[in-house]
Amino acid sequence: MSTITPAGSSVPAVPAVLVLNEAQVRRLLPQDRVLEATRQALIAHTAGAVSQPAPWHLEVTGPEGSRQGEVHVKGAHLHGAPHYAVKLATGFYGNRAHGLPVSGGLSVVADAATGHPVLIALDNGYLTDVRTGAAGALATHALARADARRVALIGPGAQAEHQLRALLRLRRPAELVLHGRDRSRAEAFADRARALHPWRVTVAADAEKAVRGADIVLTVTPSQQPVVHGEWLGPGTHITAVGADMEGKRELDASVLRRAVLVAADDPDQCRRTGELQHAAQAGIAGSQRIEALGHILAGRSPGRRSATEITVADLTGLGAQDSAVATLLAAQALQGEGNQAASD
Protein backbone atom coordinates (compact mmCIF):
# COMPACT_ATOMS: atom_id res chain seq x y z
CA MET A 1 0.00 0.00 0.00
CA SER A 2 1.26 3.49 -0.76
CA THR A 3 2.25 5.87 2.01
CA ILE A 4 1.77 9.58 2.58
CA THR A 5 4.50 11.87 3.95
CA PRO A 6 3.68 15.57 4.45
CA ALA A 7 5.95 17.75 2.29
CA GLY A 8 8.82 19.27 4.23
CA SER A 9 7.89 17.36 7.35
CA SER A 10 9.75 14.89 9.53
CA VAL A 11 6.50 13.13 10.40
CA PRO A 12 6.85 9.41 9.57
CA ALA A 13 5.02 8.17 6.49
CA VAL A 14 1.68 6.47 7.18
CA PRO A 15 -0.27 4.17 4.87
CA ALA A 16 -2.81 5.75 2.56
CA VAL A 17 -6.42 4.95 3.36
CA LEU A 18 -8.52 3.20 0.73
CA VAL A 19 -12.06 4.56 0.55
CA LEU A 20 -14.83 2.41 -0.92
CA ASN A 21 -18.41 3.37 -1.68
CA GLU A 22 -21.44 1.12 -1.29
CA ALA A 23 -21.39 -0.20 -4.86
CA GLN A 24 -17.73 -1.20 -4.53
CA VAL A 25 -18.36 -2.88 -1.17
CA ARG A 26 -21.26 -4.88 -2.60
CA ARG A 27 -19.10 -6.15 -5.49
CA LEU A 28 -16.32 -7.26 -3.15
CA LEU A 29 -18.46 -9.18 -0.62
CA PRO A 30 -20.43 -12.17 -1.96
CA GLN A 31 -23.11 -13.51 0.40
CA ASP A 32 -21.59 -16.98 0.84
CA ARG A 33 -18.34 -15.56 2.22
CA VAL A 34 -20.26 -13.26 4.57
CA LEU A 35 -22.13 -16.27 5.96
CA GLU A 36 -18.91 -18.07 6.83
CA ALA A 37 -17.25 -14.96 8.29
CA THR A 38 -20.31 -14.35 10.47
CA ARG A 39 -20.40 -17.97 11.62
CA GLN A 40 -16.74 -17.83 12.61
CA ALA A 41 -17.27 -14.53 14.45
CA LEU A 42 -20.14 -15.93 16.52
CA ILE A 43 -18.09 -18.99 17.42
CA ALA A 44 -15.00 -16.92 18.28
CA HIS A 45 -17.07 -14.60 20.45
CA THR A 46 -18.42 -17.40 22.62
CA ALA A 47 -14.95 -18.97 22.79
CA GLY A 48 -13.51 -15.78 24.29
CA ALA A 49 -11.32 -15.16 21.23
CA VAL A 50 -12.59 -11.62 20.62
CA SER A 51 -11.79 -8.25 22.19
CA GLN A 52 -15.09 -6.37 22.10
CA PRO A 53 -16.40 -3.40 24.09
CA ALA A 54 -20.05 -2.91 24.89
CA PRO A 55 -22.04 -1.27 22.08
CA TRP A 56 -22.68 2.47 22.22
CA HIS A 57 -26.25 3.57 21.45
CA LEU A 58 -27.74 7.00 20.88
CA GLU A 59 -31.40 7.81 20.38
CA VAL A 60 -31.92 11.05 18.45
CA THR A 61 -35.09 12.90 19.38
CA GLY A 62 -37.08 15.17 17.12
CA PRO A 63 -39.73 17.83 17.73
CA GLU A 64 -41.60 17.48 21.03
CA GLY A 65 -39.46 14.52 22.02
CA SER A 66 -40.48 12.34 19.09
CA ARG A 67 -38.25 9.41 18.18
CA GLN A 68 -36.28 10.64 15.18
CA GLY A 69 -33.57 8.04 14.76
CA GLU A 70 -30.96 5.85 16.36
CA VAL A 71 -27.18 5.53 16.17
CA HIS A 72 -25.13 2.45 17.06
CA VAL A 73 -21.34 2.18 17.35
CA LYS A 74 -19.79 -1.27 17.60
CA GLY A 75 -16.30 -2.63 17.13
CA ALA A 76 -14.05 -5.57 17.87
CA HIS A 77 -10.85 -7.42 17.10
CA LEU A 78 -10.91 -11.16 16.49
CA HIS A 79 -7.73 -12.45 18.08
CA GLY A 80 -5.07 -13.13 15.47
CA ALA A 81 -6.86 -11.22 12.70
CA PRO A 82 -4.73 -8.73 10.74
CA HIS A 83 -7.27 -5.93 11.19
CA TYR A 84 -9.81 -4.60 13.65
CA ALA A 85 -12.86 -2.51 12.81
CA VAL A 86 -15.23 0.07 14.24
CA LYS A 87 -18.69 0.51 12.73
CA LEU A 88 -21.22 3.33 12.94
CA ALA A 89 -24.77 2.42 11.90
CA THR A 90 -27.85 4.61 11.83
CA GLY A 91 -31.59 4.15 11.42
CA PHE A 92 -33.72 7.21 10.70
CA TYR A 93 -37.21 6.02 9.91
CA GLY A 94 -38.55 9.32 8.59
CA ASN A 95 -36.07 9.15 5.73
CA ARG A 96 -38.45 7.05 3.69
CA ALA A 97 -40.82 9.98 3.29
CA HIS A 98 -37.98 11.98 1.73
CA GLY A 99 -36.87 9.23 -0.65
CA LEU A 100 -33.78 8.46 1.42
CA PRO A 101 -32.58 5.11 2.78
CA VAL A 102 -33.65 4.37 6.34
CA SER A 103 -30.30 2.77 7.20
CA GLY A 104 -26.90 4.38 6.92
CA GLY A 105 -23.42 4.12 8.27
CA LEU A 106 -19.76 3.51 7.65
CA SER A 107 -16.95 1.25 8.86
CA VAL A 108 -13.31 2.01 9.59
CA VAL A 109 -10.82 -0.86 9.29
CA ALA A 110 -7.39 -0.52 10.88
CA ASP A 111 -4.16 -2.51 10.93
CA ALA A 112 -4.02 -4.61 14.10
CA ALA A 113 -0.22 -4.31 14.25
CA THR A 114 0.09 -0.53 13.91
CA GLY A 115 -3.39 0.82 14.67
CA HIS A 116 -3.39 2.88 11.47
CA PRO A 117 -6.64 2.98 9.45
CA VAL A 118 -6.29 1.23 6.11
CA LEU A 119 -9.84 1.31 4.75
CA ILE A 120 -13.03 3.32 5.13
CA ALA A 121 -16.20 1.72 3.82
CA LEU A 122 -18.89 4.31 3.06
CA ASP A 123 -21.35 1.49 2.72
CA ASN A 124 -24.59 3.21 3.83
CA GLY A 125 -25.24 0.40 6.29
CA TYR A 126 -24.74 -2.46 3.81
CA LEU A 127 -22.17 -4.27 5.98
CA THR A 128 -24.54 -4.13 8.95
CA ASP A 129 -27.44 -5.33 6.82
CA VAL A 130 -25.58 -8.23 5.24
CA ARG A 131 -24.04 -9.52 8.48
CA THR A 132 -27.40 -9.23 10.27
CA GLY A 133 -29.01 -11.25 7.50
CA ALA A 134 -26.25 -13.83 7.75
CA ALA A 135 -26.61 -14.15 11.54
CA GLY A 136 -30.37 -14.54 11.24
CA ALA A 137 -30.03 -17.22 8.58
CA LEU A 138 -27.42 -19.15 10.57
CA ALA A 139 -29.61 -19.08 13.68
CA THR A 140 -32.72 -20.11 11.77
CA HIS A 141 -30.94 -22.93 9.96
CA ALA A 142 -29.46 -24.23 13.23
CA LEU A 143 -32.71 -24.13 15.22
CA ALA A 144 -35.66 -24.61 12.87
CA ARG A 145 -36.99 -28.11 12.25
CA ALA A 146 -35.44 -29.89 9.28
CA ASP A 147 -38.87 -30.21 7.67
CA ALA A 148 -39.83 -26.53 8.10
CA ARG A 149 -41.67 -25.36 4.99
CA ARG A 150 -43.62 -22.21 5.80
CA VAL A 151 -41.91 -18.92 6.69
CA ALA A 152 -43.71 -15.94 8.24
CA LEU A 153 -42.06 -12.54 7.93
CA ILE A 154 -43.10 -9.51 9.96
CA GLY A 155 -41.56 -6.23 8.78
CA PRO A 156 -40.86 -6.46 5.02
CA GLY A 157 -38.17 -3.79 4.74
CA ALA A 158 -34.60 -3.69 3.46
CA GLN A 159 -33.21 -5.89 6.25
CA ALA A 160 -35.94 -8.47 5.67
CA GLU A 161 -34.67 -9.02 2.15
CA HIS A 162 -31.18 -9.69 3.50
CA GLN A 163 -32.69 -12.22 5.92
CA LEU A 164 -34.43 -14.06 3.09
CA ARG A 165 -31.47 -13.99 0.70
CA ALA A 166 -29.18 -15.46 3.35
CA LEU A 167 -31.74 -18.04 4.50
CA LEU A 168 -32.30 -19.24 0.95
CA ARG A 169 -28.63 -20.18 0.75
CA LEU A 170 -29.24 -22.65 3.60
CA ARG A 171 -32.90 -23.70 3.33
CA ARG A 172 -35.46 -24.21 0.55
CA PRO A 173 -38.87 -23.40 2.11
CA ALA A 174 -42.05 -23.82 0.08
CA GLU A 175 -44.07 -20.83 1.31
CA LEU A 176 -43.63 -17.27 2.55
CA VAL A 177 -46.40 -15.29 4.25
CA LEU A 178 -45.55 -11.72 5.11
CA HIS A 179 -47.14 -8.78 6.86
CA GLY A 180 -46.25 -5.11 6.96
CA ARG A 181 -48.11 -2.06 8.21
CA ASP A 182 -48.01 -0.49 4.74
CA ARG A 183 -49.93 -2.84 2.44
CA SER A 184 -48.55 -1.37 -0.79
CA ARG A 185 -44.95 -1.72 0.41
CA ALA A 186 -45.69 -5.27 1.54
CA GLU A 187 -47.08 -6.16 -1.89
CA ALA A 188 -44.00 -4.68 -3.57
CA PHE A 189 -41.79 -6.72 -1.27
CA ALA A 190 -43.79 -9.85 -2.11
CA ASP A 191 -43.03 -9.30 -5.80
CA ARG A 192 -39.31 -9.11 -5.04
CA ALA A 193 -39.52 -12.20 -2.84
CA ARG A 194 -41.14 -14.20 -5.65
CA ALA A 195 -38.12 -13.46 -7.81
CA LEU A 196 -35.74 -14.90 -5.20
CA HIS A 197 -37.07 -18.45 -5.04
CA PRO A 198 -39.83 -20.67 -6.49
CA TRP A 199 -42.15 -20.52 -3.48
CA ARG A 200 -45.70 -19.42 -2.80
CA VAL A 201 -45.67 -15.84 -1.49
CA THR A 202 -48.73 -14.15 0.02
CA VAL A 203 -49.41 -10.97 2.00
CA ALA A 204 -51.42 -11.37 5.21
CA ALA A 205 -53.85 -8.76 6.49
CA ASP A 206 -52.35 -8.85 9.97
CA ALA A 207 -49.45 -10.37 11.88
CA GLU A 208 -51.54 -13.09 13.47
CA LYS A 209 -52.68 -14.43 10.10
CA ALA A 210 -49.07 -14.48 8.92
CA VAL A 211 -47.73 -16.27 11.99
CA ARG A 212 -50.38 -18.94 12.60
CA GLY A 213 -49.30 -22.15 10.89
CA ALA A 214 -45.75 -20.97 10.24
CA ASP A 215 -42.78 -23.21 10.96
CA ILE A 216 -40.32 -20.29 10.95
CA VAL A 217 -41.13 -16.73 12.05
CA LEU A 218 -38.80 -13.83 11.22
CA THR A 219 -39.39 -10.50 12.94
CA VAL A 220 -37.52 -7.57 11.40
CA THR A 221 -38.98 -4.38 12.87
CA PRO A 222 -37.86 -1.45 15.06
CA SER A 223 -40.94 -1.93 17.23
CA GLN A 224 -41.20 -1.01 20.88
CA GLN A 225 -44.40 -3.04 21.23
CA PRO A 226 -44.84 -6.81 20.69
CA VAL A 227 -45.66 -7.86 17.14
CA VAL A 228 -45.85 -11.64 17.81
CA HIS A 229 -47.80 -13.37 20.61
CA GLY A 230 -47.24 -16.82 22.05
CA GLU A 231 -50.76 -18.14 21.46
CA TRP A 232 -50.22 -17.80 17.69
CA LEU A 233 -47.37 -20.33 17.71
CA GLY A 234 -47.78 -24.01 16.96
CA PRO A 235 -45.58 -26.78 18.41
CA GLY A 236 -42.11 -26.81 16.88
CA THR A 237 -42.12 -23.20 15.68
CA HIS A 238 -38.84 -21.33 15.54
CA ILE A 239 -38.68 -17.51 15.83
CA THR A 240 -35.68 -15.38 14.82
CA ALA A 241 -36.01 -11.84 16.19
CA VAL A 242 -33.48 -9.26 14.98
CA GLY A 243 -35.23 -5.95 15.70
CA ALA A 244 -34.52 -5.43 19.41
CA ASP A 245 -31.01 -4.02 19.74
CA MET A 246 -31.38 -1.27 22.36
CA GLU A 247 -33.27 -0.67 25.57
CA GLY A 248 -37.02 -0.38 25.09
CA LYS A 249 -37.26 -2.22 21.78
CA ARG A 250 -39.25 -5.44 21.63
CA GLU A 251 -40.91 -7.62 19.01
CA LEU A 252 -41.99 -10.62 21.08
CA ASP A 253 -44.69 -10.66 23.71
CA ALA A 254 -43.72 -12.19 27.05
CA SER A 255 -45.98 -15.13 26.17
CA VAL A 256 -43.56 -16.07 23.39
CA LEU A 257 -40.62 -16.24 25.78
CA ARG A 258 -42.78 -18.08 28.31
CA ARG A 259 -43.51 -20.81 25.74
CA ALA A 260 -39.96 -21.00 24.42
CA VAL A 261 -37.94 -23.96 25.63
CA LEU A 262 -34.70 -22.50 24.22
CA VAL A 263 -33.52 -18.95 23.58
CA ALA A 264 -30.33 -18.81 21.53
CA ALA A 265 -28.68 -15.41 22.06
CA ASP A 266 -25.79 -13.98 20.09
CA ASP A 267 -24.59 -12.66 23.47
CA PRO A 268 -26.76 -13.66 26.45
CA ASP A 269 -25.63 -10.75 28.64
CA GLN A 270 -26.10 -8.20 25.88
CA CYS A 271 -29.53 -9.63 25.05
CA ARG A 272 -30.57 -9.28 28.68
CA ARG A 273 -29.74 -5.57 28.41
CA THR A 274 -30.95 -4.67 24.93
CA GLY A 275 -32.60 -7.70 23.30
CA GLU A 276 -35.81 -9.62 23.81
CA LEU A 277 -34.45 -11.13 27.01
CA GLN A 278 -34.60 -7.73 28.73
CA HIS A 279 -38.38 -8.19 28.82
CA ALA A 280 -38.19 -11.68 30.33
CA ALA A 281 -36.92 -10.22 33.58
CA GLN A 282 -39.56 -7.51 33.53
CA ALA A 283 -42.29 -10.13 33.02
CA GLY A 284 -41.00 -12.27 35.85
CA ILE A 285 -40.14 -15.22 33.62
CA ALA A 286 -36.36 -14.94 33.61
CA GLY A 287 -34.87 -18.39 34.07
CA SER A 288 -37.86 -20.28 32.70
CA GLN A 289 -36.05 -20.86 29.39
CA ARG A 290 -32.82 -22.60 28.54
CA ILE A 291 -30.55 -19.78 27.32
CA GLU A 292 -27.63 -20.72 25.11
CA ALA A 293 -25.03 -18.70 23.21
CA LEU A 294 -25.65 -19.08 19.49
CA GLY A 295 -21.94 -19.58 18.89
CA HIS A 296 -21.94 -22.70 21.08
CA ILE A 297 -24.78 -24.16 19.00
CA LEU A 298 -23.04 -23.33 15.71
CA ALA A 299 -19.83 -24.93 16.99
CA GLY A 300 -21.65 -28.10 18.04
CA ARG A 301 -20.92 -27.53 21.73
CA SER A 302 -24.64 -27.27 22.51
CA PRO A 303 -27.43 -29.38 20.99
CA GLY A 304 -29.81 -26.52 20.22
CA ARG A 305 -33.26 -27.93 19.42
CA ARG A 306 -33.88 -31.22 21.21
CA SER A 307 -37.26 -32.22 19.79
CA ALA A 308 -39.61 -31.49 16.90
CA THR A 309 -42.18 -29.93 19.23
CA GLU A 310 -40.00 -27.41 21.08
CA ILE A 311 -40.59 -23.71 20.45
CA THR A 312 -37.24 -21.98 20.00
CA VAL A 313 -36.21 -18.34 19.77
CA ALA A 314 -33.07 -16.66 18.41
CA ASP A 315 -32.50 -13.30 20.11
CA LEU A 316 -30.02 -11.35 17.98
CA THR A 317 -28.75 -7.93 19.04
CA GLY A 318 -25.71 -7.73 16.74
CA LEU A 319 -22.08 -8.10 17.76
CA GLY A 320 -19.05 -5.97 17.10
CA ALA A 321 -17.32 -9.28 16.35
CA GLN A 322 -19.60 -9.77 13.35
CA ASP A 323 -18.90 -6.25 12.11
CA SER A 324 -15.17 -6.72 12.51
CA ALA A 325 -15.15 -10.12 10.81
CA VAL A 326 -17.05 -8.86 7.77
CA ALA A 327 -15.03 -5.63 7.57
CA THR A 328 -11.79 -7.61 7.86
CA LEU A 329 -12.97 -9.84 5.02
CA LEU A 330 -13.71 -6.74 2.96
CA ALA A 331 -10.22 -5.36 3.68
CA ALA A 332 -8.62 -8.63 2.61
CA GLN A 333 -10.55 -8.55 -0.67
CA ALA A 334 -9.85 -4.88 -1.32
CA LEU A 335 -6.21 -4.65 -0.28
CA GLN A 336 -5.10 -7.76 -2.17
CA GLY A 337 -5.64 -6.03 -5.49
CA GLU A 338 -9.36 -6.65 -5.97
CA GLY A 339 -10.08 -3.25 -4.43
CA ASN A 340 -7.72 -1.34 -6.68
CA GLN A 341 -10.03 -1.79 -9.65
CA ALA A 342 -13.08 -1.18 -7.47
CA ALA A 343 -11.64 2.06 -6.17
CA SER A 344 -11.07 3.35 -9.70
CA ASP A 345 -14.63 2.54 -10.90
Which residues belong to the active site? 87
The answer to whether 277 touches 265, Cβ cutoff 8 Å, is: yes
| Local structure of residue 335 (DSSP, 8 states) | I
Contact residues for 315 (Cβ-Cβ < 8 A; gap 6+): 241, 244, 263, 264, 265, 266, 271, 275, 276, 277
CB burial string 70-100: b at 16+ within 10 A, e below: bbbbbbbbbeebebbbbbbbbbbeeeeeeee
Distance CA 14, CA 17 (A): 9
What does the DSSP assignment read for 20-53?
A: EEHHHHHHH--HHHHHHHHHHHHHHHHTT-EE-P
Phi first, then psi: what are they for 288, rounded to 5°? -85, -10
Q: N- to C-terminal Cα distance for the chain? A: 18
Beta strands per DSSP E along the chain: 3-4, 14-15, 18-21, 50-51, 56-61, 67-78, 83-91, 103-111, 117-122, 150-154, 175-179, 200-203, 216-219, 238-241, 262-265, 290-293, 312-315
Please state, in angstroms and as integers, the Cα–Cα distance from residue 48 to each residue in 78, 247, 267, 295, 296, following that order.
Answer: 9, 25, 12, 11, 11
Eight-state DSSP code of residue 11 = S
Are 322 and 271 within 8 A, CB to CB?
no
Cβ neighbours of residue 188 closer than 8 Å, sequence gap 6 or more? none
